Chains A and B, each alone.
Chain A
């Protein structure tokens, strides 16, 4: 299938074609979901270069696994989980090689396309929140991102991180407390 033909298909068609090994269809899926996947990776690892590697590898893993994709979940949900797992693998690898020099994301709102239309409380708070999230210890950040940003259940988090539900709850509690302190104690009251 040529790239031009791909444009006529909806996402479900693209997934069906990709399952059959159509790389052009998969390429279109990559084009559609690249930003979402990159963002999830960035939130998980809080490092742009690593997020790039994670998101690339997530798509490569997805391509290898797509013949087994049954379509029970949406492609975006499936991709989200692959990205989270890939990020966890990279974080674990980095921990093992003892080079855990986490750079905070230090999001530059302009560089990331956050336009003036997003002005207001949320936009004002977002860069500080992203930085505070980036500064969180990896185990806390992972749980906060999955639970509070992406709405995973404690059971899902526990399964993916291979920790108990109680441990997931404790990490969430600690993570929220650290964020609350970072946002309202050290940088002035924004409430």
Chain B
């Protein structure tokens, strides 16, 4: 593989057609079977990837009723609400604990200073 082939191989993933390679590299590709094959592979890859957009896979059976159940299920809303409540309670307890620790620390510091010999 020549240095030019390596440059072409490096550029091919980013372009749609060898003509976009620029004059020098395009001229090389026109006469290099290895580069033409590589360009063809990338063209094929991009064509097949684009074709995937037209292929759909069937959603599992019962999908619609399951979605509709989730939309109207009050348990889910309650659970969501409960999770939020629990989360905010955890935050409140953590904040209160931090405040208690800070206060205790300050009190301990003051007591130590008062007890320290002058």
* Residues of A participating in the B interface, judged by any CB pair closer than 8 Å: 23, 26-27, 30-31, 34-39, 42-43, 52, 55-56, 59-60, 63, 107, 112-114, 122, 125-126, 129-130, 144, 148-151, 169, 172-173, 176-177, 179-180, 183-184, 191
Apart from the given pairs A34-B64, A35-B58, A59-B71, 18 other A-B contacts in the complex at a CB distance below 8 Å: A23-B71, A30-B67, A31-B64, A38-B56, A38-B57, A56-B67, A112-B57, A148-B49, A150-B53, A151-B50, A169-B14, A172-B14, A176-B42, A180-B41, A184-B41, A191-B37, A191-B40, A191-B44
Q: A23-B72, A27-B68, A180-B42 are in contact. Are A52 and B60 (CB under 8 A)?
A: yes
Residues of B within 8 Å of A52, CB to CB, are 59-60, 63
A69 to chain B, nearest CB (A): 15
Query: A179–B45 contact, CB under 8 A?
Result: yes
Closest to B53 in A: A149
A54 to chain B, nearest CB (A): 11
CA distance A151 to B50 in the complex (A): 8
* Residues of B participating in the A interface, judged by any CB pair closer than 8 Å: 13-14, 37, 40-42, 44-46, 48-53, 55-60, 63-64, 66-68, 70-72
CA distance A78 to B17 in the complex (A): 32
Contact partner of B59 (CB less than 8 A), chosen from A34, A129, A151, A173, is A34
CA distance A169 to B13 in the complex (A): 10
Residues of B within 8 Å of A43, CB to CB, are 52
Query: A60–B56 contact, CB under 8 A?
Result: no
CA distance A85 to B71 in the complex (A): 19
Contacts A/B (CB < 8 Å), 28 sampled: A23-B72, A27-B64, A30-B63, A30-B64, A30-B68, A34-B59, A35-B56, A35-B57, A36-B56, A38-B59, A38-B63, A39-B57, A43-B52, A52-B59, A59-B70, A60-B71, A63-B71, A107-B57, A114-B55, A126-B51, A126-B55, A148-B50, A149-B49, A151-B50, A172-B13, A176-B42, A179-B49, A184-B41
Residues of B within 8 Å of A183, CB to CB, are 41, 45
CA distance A63 to B72 in the complex (A): 11
